[in-house]
Amino acid sequence: MLMDIATEEFSHLEIVGATIQMLLTGVNSELKNTADESDLTKMLDGKAAKEDYIHQAMINPHFFLLSGGGPTVTDSQGIPWTGAFVNVMGDLTVDFRSNIGAETRAKMVYENLMAFTDDPLVKESLRFLMTREVAHFQMFEAALESIQPNFPPGILQSDPRYSNKYFNMSNGTEFRGPWNEGQSPEFGEEWQYIEEPFKHVLETDGLLNEELEGTERTEEIVQQNNKSLSELRRAEIESANTDGIMQWHEFNPALVAENEDGESPKKATKSKRKKAS
């Protein structure tokens, strides 16, 4: 699934790049005429504003000098793409949630872009890309649900003394809802609303003497769950690994094994050819 989605995302880059390239057709040789006919110019107020737009386009190194008017791998502010955008935590429940968030933001980017164009074909392309983000969202969501248990992320469970505490840390109108009253959605614990956090901290000696309230979880249960889940995840990882040499592609082992004379396969092949000649 991950390889399939990743491959499709590369194709999305091609679609976006091709769309931008077609929209920029004629920018180099007919920059002024292109600007005159653009929807943006129609919205500009007066000749001075239009000339300023042309001037900015011509002196912008990312747009004109460095890329020659072609698309660049940057965001809307000209910041180039780097590996820093790749976030991996080594836990599938974390990575799937991160991917769901990324698909959500990508969907909204396409939705916002559709509001900035009247071109029906561009809108059709953007709608297709937006729809695929929605599809990927559901795929990651389904994959996350297939991992049980998947909350909290990782292995270690949360401390039951603090997992259901809600601290009223702001001034003004107090709002109550499922985030601070009733049961918590994952553990089913009763939310404990701390009306006066400062007073509560003093009474519990800096929360060191916090007592269990509104939960059936205990420290003993938590430690048992930590151990059992750790063993479960370890077994899953070990079962997924194969014994022996791991390889991403199947090929003839003879091509990488040394022959009886100790020669490398490449040298051995050359020597056999010489003998044959």
In a domain, 267, yes or no: no
pTM: 0.71
Q: Does 122 fall in a domain?
A: no
| Structure token pair of residue 255 | 């091509």
Q: Is residue 185 part of a domain?
A: yes
In a domain, 29, yes or no: no
Per-position pLDDT tens, the chain of length 277: 999 999 999 999 899 888 887 887 655 555 545 555 554 554 455 666 666 656 655 556 556 566 665 667 777 677 888 888 888 898 999 999 999 999 999 999 999 999 999 999 999 999 999 999 999 999 999 999 999 999 999 999 999 999 999 999 998 888 999 999 999 999 999 999 999 999 999 999 999 999 999 999 999 999 999 999 999 999 988 888 877 777 777 766 666 665 555 555 555 445 555 555 5
In a domain, 107, yes or no: no
Number of domains comprising the chain: 1
Q: Which residues constitute the domain of residue 181?
A: 162-238
Q: Is residue 157 a part of any domain in this protein? A: no
Q: Does the residue 156 lie in any domain?
A: no
Tell me how far apart the alpha carbons of residues 1 and 136 are, in angstroms, rounded to a whole number.
10
78 part of a folded domain: no
